[in-house]
Amino acid sequence: MSADPTPAQGDAVRAERHGATLLLTLSRPATRNAFTPEIREGLAAGIARVRADASIRALVITGSGGHFCAGGDLRGIAAATRDPATDGATWRARMQGTQRWIHDLLTLDRPVIAAVDGAAYGAGFSLALAADVVLATPAARFCLSFMKLGLVPDCGAFHTLPRVVGAQRAKELMLSAREVDAAEARALGIAMELHAADALLPRALALAASFSTASPLAVSLVKRAMDDPGALAALLDAEANAQALAFGSAYFKDAVQGFLDKQPPPFTWPTPVAAHAAPPQGGDASGPAQPAPRRPLA
């Protein structure tokens, strides 16, 4: 499978054409591919390129250096928080700027495949959820970590996560900010398949390449039928308003400074307690009750 020449390694997001597939690689491994302005701009440009070019039949998004995306750039956010000119309207405009390309990704009429290795945290998890298919390695870790900083999920997670795992589990993952390993992600339906690290990208590109012979109209119609643009628009608006409020809270400012100072987060979800022994069944007291089987998290 041939690719066009590799772009400059200085690019925050490398865009490579593989036949009818565009591959976008987040390329800031030193920061675990966190959402710096350069990463956001690179993703926006790549998505716009797909939308403008009908010869691109599928999009693959992955990360470099054994990471997918660690989420928001907390150092940059902390610096903005300390700026007295940064108010609720500024945060809302910042969120809406990101939401424009997230909306374009979620409504893209081409298949989107996320190839996840390592951390998909915060907005990185949201980015993976924006794909139609998520492939992962056994080292993949997913976490909506926003609650640890007093924030709400963003980048469309209010829309995408409940559609994948259901409302109750989505609330649990949002409120707990707990980590989901690769096995549980597959059990929950977040990841469709698990592959070894060296097989992950070849599998993603092979799936994407298969759509080069599919009907573009049929693919578009399937995606449109599965979408709910009215609900998406309303949730993105609510997300921008909520996150602007949360960014301005004293809790967030204290939590992000604690993170930068390498302090433990103020909020931690309790570890599940092992199941108690089951009571005797049918009044049979002939022997001790057998322990109830452990219930899986997924």
The count of structural domains within the chain is 1
Residue 99 in domain: yes
Which domain covers residue 91, as residue numbers? 13-260
Closest CA to 185 of 199, 167, 165, 200: 165
Residue 291 lies in a domain: no
In three-state secondary structure terms, 222 is helix
Residue 41 lies in a domain: yes
Note whether residue 277 is domain-resident.
Answer: no
Report the alpha-carbon distance of residue 190 to residue 134 in Å, rounded: 7
Q: Is residue 202 one of the residues assigned to a domain?
A: yes
State the CATH number of the domain containing residue 125: 3.90.226.10
For residue 142, give the amino acid letter.
F
Give the three-state DSSP class for 285: coil
**Secondary structure of the chain: what % helix, strand, coil (to 5)?**
50, 15, 40
Provide, rounded to the nearest whole percent, the portion of the chain with pLDDT above 70. Answer: 86
**Mean pLDDT of all residues in the chain?**
87
- 151 inside domain: yes
Alpha carbons 154 and 242: distance in angstroms, whole number: 9
- Give mean pLDDT, residues 14-37: 96
Q: Is 286 among the domain residues?
A: no
The H-or-E segment that residue 96 falls in is: helix 88-106
Instruction: Write the pLDDT tens digit of every residue in 182-217.
Output: 999 999 999 999 999 999 999 999 999 999 999 999
Lowest mean pLDDT among 37-41, 47-51, 56-60, 184-188: 37-41
More confident of the two residues 165 and 78: 165
Query: Is 148 inside a domain boundary?
Result: yes
